[in-house]
């Protein structure tokens, strides 16, 4: 990891297309601006992690429901079918 010290107004370049500008420093918080091409996806890490967790939970719930439907349609050996 590259660690840098920057002040308000300073800019970092990532590759040829991405600029990260330190807009404001206030206590323990900084405000940054990011200039990047529209095809570059920019997400806060905690938001991405929350989305991924929600997707995993939905996939598990969906698989459980589908499995229950499949199992519900199976005949149990040695048990007469109900009509």
Within a domain: residue 24? yes
Q: pLDDT tens across 15-31, in order?
A: 999 999 999 999 999 99
* 49 and 34 fall within a common domain: no
Q: pLDDT tens across 44-57, in order?
A: 999 999 989 888 88
Give the range of the structural domain holding residue 33, as residue numbers without chain letter.
Answer: 8-38
Within a domain: residue 16? yes
* 31 and 52 fall within a common domain: no
Which parts of 4-82 are beta strand (E)?
A: 11-14, 18-26, 29-35
Q: How far apart are CA 80 and CA 74, in angstroms?
A: 12
* 48 and 68 fall within a common domain: yes
Within a domain: residue 58? yes
Structural domains in the chain (count): 2
pTM: 0.61
């Amino acid at each position: 990891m590259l660690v840098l010290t920057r002040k308000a107004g300073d800019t970092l370049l990532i590759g040829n297309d991405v600029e990260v500008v330190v807009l404001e420093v206030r206590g323990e918080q900084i405000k940054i601006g990011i200039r990047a091409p529209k095809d570059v996806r920019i997400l806060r890490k905690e938001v991405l992690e929350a989305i991924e967790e929600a997707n995993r939970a939905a996939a598990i719930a969906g698989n459980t429901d589908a499995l229950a439907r499949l199992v519900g349609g199976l005949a149990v050996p040695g048990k007469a079918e109900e009509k």
